[in-house]
Amino acid sequence: MIDSVDNVVTAAHAAAPSLEDLGRAGRARMLESVADALDESRSGLVEIAAEETGLTTERLVGEVARTSGQLRLFAEVLRDGGYLEATIDHAAPEATPPRPDLRRMLVPLGAVAVFSASNFPFAFSVLGGDTASALAAGCPVVVKAHSGHPRLSRAVAALAAAAAEGAGAPRGTIGLVEGREAGIDLVAHPRIQAVGFTGSLGGGRALFDVASRRPQPIPFYGELGSLNPVVITPGAASARAEALAAGLAGSMTLGVGQFCTKPGLVFVPPGRDLEPHLAAALAGHGPQRMLTPSIADAYARSMAELADSRGARLVFAADQGGDGLGAPAVYATTVSGLVEDPALLEERFGPTTLLVEYADEDELLRAIGLIDGALTATVHAEDDSSSRVLRALRDRAGRLLFGGWPTGVAVGWAQHHGGPWPATTNPLHTSVGATAIRRFLRPLVFQDAPASVLPPELRDGAAPLPRRIDGVLTVGAR
């Protein structure tokens, strides 16, 4: 039986001081222990996930590896220590005005909430990047399980809590709640200090408003929706139309089109062979099970809306199959069509994309100006890329790709998985990669503090870690 939201949050709040006191080395060992436990239980967990989501065993095995890899990445982040932004300004009584001894670093916020996503039952769920980065920061986590994989969520939460406690973490470090009302109560709970969310624009915006209306408003880091525009230049279309069509077909159908980085809008020049090549590349793709019946129903409705739109014409549609299934469909329009029917620019979660024909660069720039913020933007060009187009895309995306396709988000130190609204509620931060930890930390300055009360990272002669001392960036102990 799942405990009440208040009980779970109260336990997480009580665990926060002890989790912080584990220190960087202790939390790194904890994350590695949880990663090991996840890998050791992979077979049984993948079996549950396949039953609940319909995703293939191959896909899920890879996702477990990504998830344990994320946990181990944050163990590396902890041992490196640079994320703390440790800064020391020694006292300077001769300065005008005199400067006291100032020592600054980032400290954990406290207990935080994480909302699981439907489309990645491991990597954006109970032990996803939000949870891994929050635990690394020293914040206990209360996860709101996704209704699309409840049995898996319970199994992973139990495994993770046991492994964390076995590595020295306090009870309450990882908790789980279920249900829509529980999610609302979780965000509203006064002891929750931040929220990580991946999901729909409507659901995310509603929770964002709850977080903002609290007597103590808190950060809400939501990933809400993204069209991920692609620009194909005339040079690229002439040189490799068939290869581009094949790449687009693979990207838009990956995971039955249920990736947040799916290319949902593709700008194409007129008079090329992209459309017939794309139809040919999609010809062998039939209906597949989608993650949940509600997602499949929403996809079917969105396809019916496109079919009824006077501004879009059908390029390709496979047999959509029965209930719970989704199959590829491609529609096309013009820039004028986008202007006349802004609903064409809505995100459609599933294996579909919209081709937009543009006449020239000015018309392309006009169309880009209609797009909301996105996680990614992609350019396929030969020697005809434009600085004006690149700047327009850069202003609307968190990751700019040159060639390739946006589905697939590598996990590493340099990754950024965010973007202007509505891709995320805060474009400064990411839910993937090492800097995701920054969401769950705040700065604290110690002024004229005795050494005995300073964190180890701010003491003179501390173990080597990146620090700025009297304005000079250093790694050695000083």
**Contact, 455 vs 466, CB < 8 A?**
no
Q: Give the burial class of 412: count Cβ atoms within 10 A of its Cβ; 0-12 exposed, 13-18 middle, 19 or more buried.
A: exposed
DSSP SS3 for 182: helix
User: pTM of the entire structure?
Assistant: 0.94
Q: Give the burial class of 19: count Cβ atoms within 10 A of its Cβ; 0-12 exposed, 13-18 middle, 19 or more buried.
A: buried
Pick the CATH number of 229-402 from 3.40.309.10, 3.40.710.10, 3.20.10.10, 3.40.50.300: 3.40.309.10
Quote the tokens at residue 475: 């790694």
CA distance 465 to 469: 12
Query: Domain residue spans in the chain?
Result: 5-224+427-474, 229-402
Euclidean distance between the first and final Cα of the chain, in Å? 52
Mean predicted lDDT score pLDDT of the chain: 95
Residue the block writes with tokens 């790709």: 401
Residue type, 242: E
CA distance 28 to 412: 17
Residue type, 102: L
At 88, the pLDDT band (50, 70, 90 cuts) reads very high
The predicted structure's pLDDT at residue 462: 76
Give the pLDDT confidence of 206-239 residue by residue, as tens digits: 999 999 999 999 999 999 999 999 999 999 999 9
The predicted structure's pLDDT at residue 2: 60
At 30, the pLDDT band (50, 70, 90 cuts) reads very high
At 478, the pLDDT band (50, 70, 90 cuts) reads low
Q: Kindly write down the DSSP assignment for every residue of 139-155, as one continuous string.
A: --EEEE--TTSHHHHHH
The predicted structure's pLDDT at residue 408: 85
pLDDT at position 264 over 70: yes
Taking alpha carbons only, the member of 8, 64, 28, 14 closest to residue 137 is: 28
How much of the chain, in percent, has pLDDT values that exceed 90? Answer: 93
**Contact, 18 vs 138, CB < 8 A?**
no
CA distance 224 to 242: 32
Positions marked catalytic: 223, 260
Q: Give the burial class of 186: count Cβ atoms within 10 A of its Cβ; 0-12 exposed, 13-18 middle, 19 or more buried.
A: buried
Give the pLDDT confidence of 326-360 residue by residue, as tens digits: 999 999 999 999 999 999 999 999 999 999 999 99
Q: Which CATH class is domain 5-224+427-474?
A: alpha beta
The predicted structure's pLDDT at residue 384: 87
Question: Same CATH fold, 229-402 and 5-224+427-474?
Answer: no
CA distance 478 to 469: 8
CA distance 287 to 322: 8
Residue type, 213: R
